[in-house]
Amino acid sequence: MSHYYDFDPSLQSKPKQIQTYIGNEKFTFLTDIGVFSKDEIDYGSFVFILELLKQKPVDTLLDVGCGYGVIGLILTYFGQCQTADLVDINPRALDLTLQNAKNLSLKNIEVYYSDGFSNVHKNYDRIVMNPPIRAGKKVIYKMFEDAFDHLLEGKELWIVIKKDLGALSAQKKLLEIFSNVHVVLKHKGYWVLQAIK
């Protein structure tokens, strides 16, 4: 089976801390070599988080391709869900997510390995995703289809994607799968899309 991300276990580990503010709250995250956006929270995720924090809280949330946990952990910290599952294919990212969750004293989360949705066996109220663009459209579109299958009826997938990295084609693909797709935000080249099952 081809993976959307191949982690090289021989990569040197150099953990470091990065910080960001959401409103007046200061967050510190542990990152490392071999994880997405290790030096700072990428702007797309930052914009995505701010938009998601405006939405009505849900019971269950899934963060797919969670990296070191920024999106899912911040949403959980602010009470955007009762429980959250965070999954990734990268073992180092999962270890970092667990440490970051512990540092935030979050108890209502599960962190586990999954190649896309391969190890996800529940359905959710909200699925959030900053898709792995470098994996290619075939992989990402499969993730959209799998997201549909793992949502409860009437519930929603949220994604953030750069316009020049395929936002229009992603929107078109989502419209083939979901009954309702909305561009919720366009900001500095980033699109936040909501797709409702």
d(CA 115, CA 158) in angstroms, rounded, equals 19
CATH 2.40.170.20 is the classification of domain 41-196 = no
| Strand partners of residue 81 | 58
d(CA 30, CA 100) in angstroms, rounded, equals 6
Chain position carrying tokens 């395929």: 166
What is the model's pLDDT at position 5? 57
Contact 152, 127 (CB under 8 A): no
What is the model's pLDDT at position 4? 46
d(CA 125, CA 102) in angstroms, rounded, equals 24
Note down pLDDT in tens along the chain; length 197 residues: 334 455 666 778 899 999 999 989 999 999 998 888 877 889 999 999 999 999 999 999 999 999 999 999 999 999 999 999 999 999 999 999 999 999 999 999 999 999 999 999 999 999 999 998 888 889 999 999 999 999 999 999 999 999 999 899 999 999 999 989 999 999 999 999 999 99
What is the model's pLDDT at position 7? 63
Residue 93: helix, strand or coil by DSSP? helix
Domain spans of the chain, in order of start: 41-196
State the angle between helix axes of 167-177 and 137-149 in degrees (0 to 180), rounded to the nearest 10: 40
What is the model's pLDDT at position 135? 83
d(CA 20, CA 89) in angstroms, rounded, equals 25
